[in-house]
Amino acid sequence: MQVSKIGKFAALVVAFGVIVGCSSKGGDTAGTGAVDPNAGYTSPSSSSDNGMSSEEAALRAITTFYFEFDSSDLKPEAMRALDVHAKDLKAAGNRVVLEGHTDERGTREYNMALGERRAAAVQRYLVLQGVSAGQLELVSYGEEKAAATGSSEEAWAQNRRVELRK
Domain membership flag for residue 44: no
Residue 58 is assigned to a structural domain of this protein: yes
Task: Classify residue 40 as left (phi > 0), alpha (psi -120 to 50) or beta.
Answer: left
Does residue 69 sit within a domain?
Answer: yes
In a domain, 30, yes or no: no
Quote the percentage of the chain above a pLDDT of 70: 69
Inter-residue contact 103 to 159 (CB < 8 Å): yes
Q: Would residue 115 count as lying in a domain? A: yes
Q: Provide DSSP, 89-156.
A: HHHH---EEEEEE--S-S-HHHHHHHHHHHHHHHHHHHHHTT--GGGEEEEEEETSS-SS-SSSHHHH
Cα–Cα distances in angstroms (integers) from residue 3 to residues 8, 9, 11, 15, in the given order? 9, 10, 12, 18
Q: How many whole angstroms separate alpha carbon 103 and alpha carbon 58?
A: 26
Domain that holds residue 106: 54-166
Please write the tens of the pLDDT for every residue from 135-150.
Answer: 999 999 999 999 999 9
- Whether the CA torsion 140, 145, 146, 150 is positive or negative: it is positive
146 is a domain residue: yes
The pLDDT mean for the chain works out to 81
- Does the residue 12 lie in any domain? no
What is residue 44's predicted lDDT score, i.e. its pLDDT?
37
132 contacts 126 by C-beta, under 8 angstroms: no
- CATH label of the domain that carries residue 77: 3.30.1330.60
State the pLDDT at residue 53.
Answer: 87
Structural domain count, the chain: 1
Closest by Cα among 74, 70, 66, 69 to 28: 69
pLDDT in tens, 2-47: 545 555 545 554 444 444 444 444 444 444 444 454 444 333 334 4
Q: Does 132 fall in a domain?
A: yes
Task: Give 96-115 pLDDT, tens digit per residue.
Answer: 999 999 999 999 999 999 99
Long-range contacts of the stretch 80-83 (C-beta < 8 A, 24+): 80/41, 81/38, 81/41, 82/122, 82/125, 82/126, 82/129, 83/59, 83/129
Rounded Cα–Cα distance for residues 81 and 76 (Å): 9
Q: What is the pLDDT confidence band of residue 158, given thresholds at 50, 70 and 90?
A: very high
pTM of the model as a whole: 0.70
Pick 26 or 152 by higher pLDDT. 152
